[in-house]
Amino acid sequence: MTAVPFVDAHFHLWKLDRLRYPWLSPPFDDSGPNGSAAAIARNYLVDDYRADMADWNVVAAVHVEAGADARDALNETIWLEQVGAMTNLPIAIVAYAALEDPQVERNLAAQAAHSRVRGIRQIVNWHADPARSYTTMDLTVDDRWQRGFAALAAYGLSFDLQCYPDQMSGLVNLFDRNPDVPVVINHLGMPVTTDAEGFARWRSGMQALSALESVSVKISGLGFIHRAWTNESVRPFLTEALELFGPERCMFASDTPTDKLFAPLDRYLATYQAFSGALSPDDQLSMWCRNAARTYHLDLSVETSIDR
């Protein structure tokens, strides 16, 4: 357990009898990018999250859209607002919107009208190997998608970027043209270590994005690097991310319950604790708390601790 206050920058809730989640619905198989989701295909609610985080000093948590059917995107936000009003979890929401949608501005306005919504995530991982792709095409090179990204600024919304390393360098110009849209790289940039020179490709993409002050990174999702990850196998990625972005642009996140597909939650957080332990107390506070609070505009002057 860490005594450092933890703003969990990325977690999920889901209620399978209220919203539709295609990836959490049978039939399940192991062929997709994450393998079978059967082990976590059950309701995951505030009490479940609190139980999982009981040994960690969570003071606030940011919900990231949980892969609900696109038709349920606004319904997910409405439900989370209701949950947040009762429990203060989540304190903030990163909602879903398809940026290439002709009605994107209407959809962004509808999401931004909710008080807890701070940003948008649309998973855009595209890979030449269809078994690795989350999408059928690389949306990031589509002019409609890029116009939708630029529209985020008008609504004061950030963008959570979940892509693959080979897509990163192509996004630099777009992000540079839109510095008022903060970008948060999800899950350490999701390196593809089975690709030839996978680490080098990841490092090159992350280096290109790290040159932009508007871009930060979440240290999470170690199971996306290696399903059977070890401290030794992920340390080079943790070290490189910290060197590229510095402690002022890195934030820890649980990604629970998704990350539980690959390892117990406490093992992730203990790994992050050990990794950050050599840093100064101020840098640790930045990575565990301040950076997420700043990025997602959290008012931590109010009571946000999880009741025990």
* DSSP letter assigned to residue 255: -
Residue 69: per-residue pLDDT: 97
Number of H helices, E strands in the chain: 11, 8
Q: What is the C-alpha to C-alpha distance for residues 307 and 288, in angstroms, rounded to an integer?
A: 19
Average pLDDT, the chain: 95
Q: 145: alpha, beta or left, given left = phi > 0 and alpha = psi -120 to 50?
A: alpha
What are 92's two structure tokens? 């903030």
> Within 10 A of 223 (CB to CB), how many other CB atoms are there?
21
- Whether residue 110 contacts residue 85, with contact meaning beta carbons closer than 8 Å, is answered with no
Dump pLDDT digits (tens) for 89-119.
Answer: 999 999 999 999 999 999 999 999 999 999 9
Dump pLDDT digits (tens) for 49-86.
Answer: 999 999 999 999 999 999 999 999 999 999 999 999 99
Residue 32: per-residue pLDDT: 79
Q: Which residues contact 161 (CB under 8 A, 6 or more apart)?
A: 121, 124, 171, 183, 184, 185, 186
Q: What is the C-alpha to C-alpha distance for residues 97 and 123, in angstroms, rounded to an integer?
A: 10
- Whether residue 217 contacts residue 250, with contact meaning beta carbons closer than 8 Å, is answered with yes
What are 65's two structure tokens? 């859209």
Please tell me whether residue 120 adopts helix, strand or coil conformation.
strand
Inform me whether the pLDDT recorded for 124 exceeds 90: yes
CA 162 vs. chain centroid, Å, equals 7
Inform me whether the pLDDT recorded for 304 exceeds 80: no
Of 306 and 251, the structure prediction assigns the larger pLDDT to 251
Residue 99: per-residue pLDDT: 98
What b-and-e string marks burial along 262-282, b requiring 16 or more CB atoms within 10 Å of the CB? bbebbebbbbbbebbeeeeee
Dump pLDDT digits (tens) for 23-59.
Answer: 999 999 888 788 899 999 999 999 999 999 999 999 9
- Under the banding of pLDDT at 50, 70 and 90, the label for residue 1 is low
